[in-house]
Chain A
Amino acid sequence: MAESRAERLLRVLEGVAYWAVVAPALACLPASLGYRLACWRGDWTLRHRPAKRTELAGNLRRLLGGELGPAAAQRLTRDWFRFTSCEAIDVMRLRHRARALGRLVEVRGREHLEAALAAGNGVILCSAHFGSYDCAFSLLGASGFAVTTIGRWQHNYTAGLSRAERRFWDLAQARRLRRHRHRPNIEPWPGRIQVAAQAAAVLRANEVLTIAIDAPPLDTDQARAVQVPFLGRQARLLPGAVALAQATGAPLLMGFLYRTADYRHQVLEISPPVTVTGDVAAAFARCAARVSAAIRARPAHWAFWACTGDLADLGLIEARSPDGGIQHDGSAASVPARG
């Protein structure tokens, strides 16, 4: 079901209004009320975006079909929309020293991060496009860790965005996340040969390097991708985090931020170091298994359910021709879609 020009315009305007006006206002309300209203907005987008809803439910069934009943699929779809609305509130609550968000997030395993840093080789903290992962990185930065992220800002590579839209998302979202990061994001664009060296410089300074390891490889990176078990299938992922850990001696930890049943409280769980010695692909498979387990435990937190093209790029579902129903709508849940 293709989106008409008018529908797209309305969707973009609604997303802009939500991020520019509504979410900042909701973030100033008591958390219980602010997140409740964000959930209502999530329910509204669920009702008014049937194509996205159908795509999301279809992908859930494709990958988790055997373990997912219709009622569970419906609940997960609803939660996915609610979570994306709540994420905007999380970003807004990063204002000042991020205490407004910090009060709502319980960090478990902070001691693992501190112990790993005590060794002096920096830390690689791996996560996924799971929950408010970007807020988790910034929250750690606000709480005293020097955090730098390897990753492309979504608004810079989502296909079909105008220059004004990119500027808006930079101001509304990325700027708020960036201010708690120690250095600018290290963005792995094709041809940027400095990426690993910049990452190594972060680790040499005994800082925290964060990365979401479940991103679909770009065409130019396909040769470096490895096949690993993921959600019961084989996914093509880039094992760069493990290769970097091996090259620098930095410990690699896993961290996932998930929302509790009341939608406003969240838990950031940081693991002890993962063993990264030996074959890169095998070591990376251990990391991917952690991501896969986190998604299975809390499926609605994973951003890529609504991005059929990305799931195809990951090798998790078959890519179909446009007339076959599955189309690539850009990458990583176009920004307005996540708004």
Chain B
Amino acid sequence: MEDVINAYISQEIVADPALLPLSDDAPLLEGGILDSLSLLRLVVFVEERFGITVGEGDLLPQNFGSVNTICAYLRARQPGKQEAGRG
């Protein structure tokens, strides 16, 4: 999952080649890599790729601050995980 997210951000969002390669813990928001519009594109991508819906309330720095936090958020949102959590 980290590879998929990292590849998308590196190829579709990062405009400055000097920022590549992107490490999984690189700060995406403080580092200016993600802004409001690129975050929207990323959200659309993860919604389509992982079959989840990202609510407005989930658009927080702790969920989208780095590739690692995005993946942690997505793992927590995956249907299987949610059911396992409830069960």
Which residues of A are in contact with B by a Cβ distance under 8 Å?
188, 192-201, 223-224, 240, 243-244, 247
Closest Cβ of chain B: how far from A229's Cβ, in Å?
A: 23
Q: List 26 A-B contacts (CB under 8 A).
A: A193-B34, A193-B36, A193-B39, A193-B61, A193-B64, A194-B56, A196-B36, A196-B37, A196-B39, A197-B36, A197-B39, A197-B56, A197-B59, A198-B56, A199-B40, A200-B40, A201-B56, A223-B32, A224-B35, A240-B36, A240-B37, A243-B37, A244-B40, A247-B40, A247-B41, A247-B44
- Range, interface on chain B: 10 to 19
Let me know if B59 and A194 touch, CB within 8 A.
yes
Instruction: Using A193-B64, A195-B36, A197-B36 as known contacts, list a sample of 20 further A-B pairs with CB atoms less than 8 Å apart, ordered by residue number in A.
Output: A192-B36, A193-B29, A193-B34, A193-B35, A193-B59, A193-B61, A194-B56, A196-B37, A196-B40, A197-B39, A197-B40, A198-B56, A200-B44, A223-B32, A224-B35, A240-B37, A244-B40, A247-B40, A247-B41, A247-B44
Closest Cβ of chain B: how far from A325's Cβ, in Å?
A: 35
| A-facing residues in B48-74 (Cβ within 8 Å) | 54, 56, 59, 61, 64
**Chain B residues with CB under 8 A of A193:** 29, 34-36, 39, 59, 61, 64
**Chain A residues with CB under 8 A of B40:** 196-197, 199-200, 244, 247
Let me know if B36 and A194 touch, CB within 8 A.
yes
B43 interface hit (Cβ, 8 Å) = yes
| Interface mask (B14-36 → A, CB under 8 Å = 1, otherwise 0) | 00000000000000010010111
In the bound complex, CA of A195 to CA of B56 (Å): 9
**Chain A residues with CB under 8 A of B39:** 193, 196-197
In the bound complex, CA of A245 to CA of B32 (Å): 22
Closest 5 CB pairs of A and B: A196-B40, A196-B36, A195-B36, A194-B59, A196-B37
Q: Nearest B residue to A200 by beta-carbon distance?
A: B40
**Chain A residues with CB under 8 A of B32:** 223
